[in-house]
Amino acid sequence: MIHVIATIDIAPGKRDEYLELFAVLVPKVLAEDGCLSYGPAVDIDSGIRVQIPLRENVVTVVEQWSDLDALQAHLRAPHMAEYKEAVEGIVVGLTLQVLQPA
């Protein structure tokens, strides 16, 4: 199993619009072979001293995949190309962390 943390930087004021578009994608991804979990998350104020500052224009996607081959297939899926086109101009940056259990 592998974990993916995708940090998506959103244009100011566009987070709600982005989340609406992302909600259309989620069931398609969850239906992919090898997808164990896939969902967006946003920062909340926890009051925990060591938490990083809140990021109003960031959506974090937390994913679990059966293996790296499943993740690679996900990245090539037709609905991912459609998603990228739909969010063009809304997403201004993206970073990925691909992790394995230690």
pLDDT in tens, the chain (102 residues): 999 999 999 999 999 999 999 999 999 999 999 999 999 999 999 999 999 999 999 999 999 999 999 999 999 999 999 999 999 999 999 999 999 999
Q: Please report, for the chain, the start and end positions of each structural domain, with discontinuous segments joined by +.
A: 2-99
What pLDDT is attached to residue 29?
98
DSSP for residue 98: E
- CA-CA-CA-CA dihedral for 92, 74, 4, 18, to nearest 10: 30
Amino acid at 61: V
pTM, rounded to two decimals: 0.94
What is the Cβ-side half-sphere exposure of residue 85, based on CA atoms within 13 angstroms?
5
- Joined tokens for residue 75: 């990245």
What pLDDT is attached to residue 8?
98
**What proportions of the chain, in percent to the nearest 5, are helix, strand and coil?**
35, 35, 35
CATH code for residues 2-99: 3.30.70.100
